[in-house]
Structure 1
Amino acid sequence: MIRQILNRLGQGLLVLFVLFTLTFFLVRSLPTGPFKTERAIPEHIQAKMEAYYGLDQPLLVQYQKRLVNLLSGDLGLSLRLEGREVSEIISQSFPVSLQLGLVAIVLAITIGVPLGILAAWRKNSLTDYGAMALAMVGICIPSFVIGPVLADQFGRRMEILPAMGWSPLSPAFWILPALTLGLISAAYLSRLTRAGMLETLNQDFVRTARAKGVSEGRILSHHCLRGGLIPAVAYIGPAFAAIISGSLVIESIFAIPGLGTHFIKSIETGDEPVITGVVLLYGSLIILANIATDLLGVWLNPRLRSTR
C-alpha cells in the first residue's frame, strides 16, 4: 500500500510539472499582457518594467528560471498587483475558497448519497422515479444558471439569505454558493449510489440473508451499504475537482473574496505567476483528493488490496 501511495505521489509530481509547462507557454501566447492596458505606457517605462520582471529575456530562459524558482518554493511576484508575492495572495484568498469547497462537497454527499440509497431501496416506485428525475434535472442545469436563480429568489425577492458577500463564521452566507456548487455533484452521487446499491442488493449473500429472516433495514445498513457506496466514493475525487474549479465562477456571482476574483483578473491581464500558482494549487488538491478516494475505496472493498 505504501508503495502504491508513493507511486501515485510520483505520478502527481509529473502531472504538476506538465501543468506548469502548459500553463506557462499558454499564458505567454495570450495577446494580452500585464503591461498592455487601455492607457498606453511609454515604451521606456514598459521596457524597464519588463526588465525588472525578466520578461525581456528569451522565453526558454524565463521558463527555466520560473521552474528553478518553483522547485525552491518561490511562486514569484504578481505582475498586476504591484509586485505582491503570489504566495501572499493565495494565503489570503484560498481559505475562503477551501471553506466554500468543503461545505459544498459535504452538502453534495449529504444530499446525494441518502437520495440514492432511498431510490435503490424503493426501486421502481414513485420515490425512485422522483429521485432520479430530480437528479437528471440537477445534472442538466449548469451551476452558473443555478447560482443567479438562487440569488435572485432567496436573496433579492424573499430576502431569506444573503445573496452577496462572505463571512467565515456565518453559515447564512455559505448556503446559496455551496448549494450552487454542490447540487450537480449531489445529482451524480445519487445516481451512482443507486446503481451501486442495486448491484449489491442483487448479490447471493443478500438473498441468503433474506432467507434467514434478516430485516430489510439490517440488510441495507450492514450488508449492502459498504459495497454499494464504492462507485459513489470513486466519484468523490472528480466531484471535488469539479467543485473547486467551478468555485472560480461562483465566487464572482456571489461576490466572494476567494481565489476566483484573482484568477479571472490574472487571465484578463496575462499575470502568469498568479495563474500558475492557482493552477498548481488546485492541481495539487485534485491529486491529493484522488489519492484519498483510492484509499477509501480500498477500505470499503478489501478485495482491491490484492490488486494494488
Structure 2
Amino acid sequence: IEAKYGLDQPMYLQMINYVWGVVTDFDFGPSFRYRDRTVNDIIAQGFPVTLKYGSWAFIIAVLSGITLGVIAAIRQNTFIDYFAVGFSISAQVLPNFVMAPILVLIFTLYLGWLPGGGWEGGQIQFIIMPVIALSTSYIASIARLTRSSMLEVLNSNFIRTAKAKGLPQYKIIFFHALKPSLLPVISYLGPAFVGMITGSVVIDMYFSTGGIGLHFVRGALNRDYSTIMGITILVGSLTITFNLIVDILYAWIDPKIRY
C-alpha cells in the first residue's frame, strides 16, 4: 500500500513528485478513500455540475443585482429604493439552509412545479431551485454595492456638468455614471464567481446535485487527504485566475488605474 501511494519515499520526494504531477499533467493522484478512483475522476464528476448551476447563478446575480442597484439609486428615497434595500438586507441574512427548504416547500410540495432534488443530466427543471438558492444572497450584495457606488457617482462634479448641459437621464446613467460605478462591483465579482462555480455544500446536499462541494466535505469526513488537496488547489487556482481578470477589467473600466 505504501508503494502504491508513494508513501515509502522520503517526504521531500513525495512533495516534488506531487507538485510535478500537478504542474505538468494536472494529476492530483489517487483517492485515499475510493479504490481504483483518482482525484481527477472525482473532480471530473462533481465540478461540471457545480460549474453549470454556478454559472447560471452568477449571470442572474449580476444582471439582477446591477439592475436593482441602479434603479434604487436613481429612485432614491422612493418605494423602489426602500424595497431594494429591504430585499438586500433580508436576502443577505437568509442562509442557504433556510432558503433551500422554503423553495422546496413552495415549488415542490405546494405548487408541484419542480422536482425536489436530483440532477438528471442538468435539465432545466433540476437547475432552477439550486440557482435561485445560490444567487439570492449574491443579488443582494451586488445590489447594495451598485446602489451605494451609483449614488456616489451621481453626486460627482462631472455628472452635474452633464446635467447642466441638458443631457437626457438615460445618457447620463448609461454613458457616464454606470461604468465608474461598477468598479467596486467588479472587485466583488471575482471571488463571488469562484464561490458560485465551486459550489455550496448545503445546496449540493439538499438538492442532491452531486457537486464539487459535497465531494470536498466527504473527503474531509473520510480523511481523503488527496481529494481535499486537489479540490483546494483547484479553488485556489480559480481564485488567482479570476482576481487577475478583475485587475485587467479594472484597467479597462478606468484607464487611470495602472499597476
2:161 paired with 1:208: yes
Separation of aligned partners in 2, 1:55 and 1:126: 65
- The equivalent residue for 2:19 is 67
- Within the candidate set 165, 176, 179, 1:226 is matched to 179
For residue 267 of structure 1, report the CA deviation from its aligned partner.
1.0
- Within the candidate set 221, 233, 250, 1:280 is matched to 233
Distance 1:210 1:71, change over 3 A: closer
- The equivalent residue for 2:125 is 172
Aligned pairs for 1:179-194 within 5 A: 179-194=132-147
- Within the candidate set 117, 131, 144, 2:97 is matched to 144
Matched letter for residue 87 of structure 2: L
- Aligned pairs, how many? 258
Measured against aligned partners, the alpha-carbon deviations of 1:9-39 in whole angstroms (never above 9, x if no partner) come to: xxxxxxxxxxxxxxxxxxxxxxxxxxxxxxx
Aligned pairs for 1:1-308 within 5 A: 49-55=1-7, 62-73=14-25, 74-168=27-121, 170-304=123-257, 307-308=258-259
For residue 57 of structure 1, report the CA deviation from its aligned partner.
5.9
Matched letter for residue 212 of structure 1: K
- The equivalent residue for 1:25 is none
Percent identity over paired residues: 38
Separation of aligned partners in 1, 2:231 and 2:99: 25
For residue 88 of structure 1, report the CA deviation from its aligned partner.
2.3
Structure number with greater Rg is 1
For residue 246 of structure 1, report the CA deviation from its aligned partner.
4.5
Q: Structure 1: give runs of 5+ residues left out of the alignment.
A: 1-48
Matched letter for residue 66 of structure 1: Y
Using the size of structure 1 for normalisation, the TM-score is 0.78
Measured against aligned partners, the alpha-carbon deviations of 1:208-260 in whole angstroms (never above 9, x if no partner) come to: 12112211122111111111111111110121233245423311110002223
Measured against aligned partners, the alpha-carbon deviations of 1:100-158 in whole angstroms (never above 9, x if no partner) come to: 11111111112111000000000111211110110011111112221122122212222
Distance 1:259 1:205, change over 3 A: same
Measured against aligned partners, the alpha-carbon deviations of 1:70-115 in whole angstroms (never above 9, x if no partner) come to: 3343211112110312212222321111111111111111211100
Matched letter for residue 138 of structure 1: A
Separation of aligned partners in 2, 1:246 and 1:90: 12
Higher mean displacement: 293-302 or 242-251: 242-251
Matched letter for residue 153 of structure 2: T
Q: Give yes or no for contact 2:49–2:122 (8 Å, CA) kept in 1.
A: no
Higher mean displacement: 185-194 or 239-248: 239-248
- The equivalent residue for 1:36 is none
Separation of aligned partners in 1, 2:2 and 2:208: 32
Q: Structure 2: give runs of 5+ residues left out of the alignment.
A: none
Separation of aligned partners in 1, 2:24 and 2:71: 51
